[in-house]
Amino acid sequence: MEKTWKIQDLGRGLRNSLVAMLRGEFLLRLNVGRYFVHIVYVFFLFAMVIWLSLMIENTMNKVEKKKAELQELEIVHSQKVFDLVSLSKRSSVRNLLEQKGSRVTEPTQPATLLVK
């Protein structure tokens, strides 16, 4: 006599499987107790792979942030170098001194050497 499957049988099997998973008996009901060490090892390997991928992603995010910060600092540095070069010209220094009302001018005679 062939037994036909009913929806109730499927529901009952799913419910029994869920209860077995909650109690921790699911692997024992499947009779895979002898492979328990292997299952734990595979779980550990999966956990390590997930952990490593999260650490790599975190490191890559830090690298991208540092690259953006470095680009910004390079722009600031270039601007400061440009400002310094433009201020180091004699004519611009003379003009700044005149605007500030300073009496300092370019030397007309060479520097005097003091001897001890």
- Among positive and negative, which fits the CA dihedral 7, 8, 11, 16? negative
Distance set, CA 94 to CA 51, 81, 86 (Å): 64, 20, 12
Q: Average pLDDT, stretch 79-105?
A: 83
Distance set, CA 25 to CA 20, 38, 93, 104 (Å): 5, 17, 87, 94
pLDDT in tens, 11-67: 888 888 888 888 878 777 778 778 888 888 999 999 999 999 999 999 999 999 999
pTM of the complete model: 0.50
Q: Is residue 7 predicted with pLDDT exceeding 80?
A: no
pLDDT score for 1: 57
Domain spans in the chain, listed from the N-terminal domain onward: 34-90
Q: Is residue 87 predicted with pLDDT exceeding 80?
A: no
Q: DSSP readout, 5-20?
A: P-HHHHHHHHHHHHHH
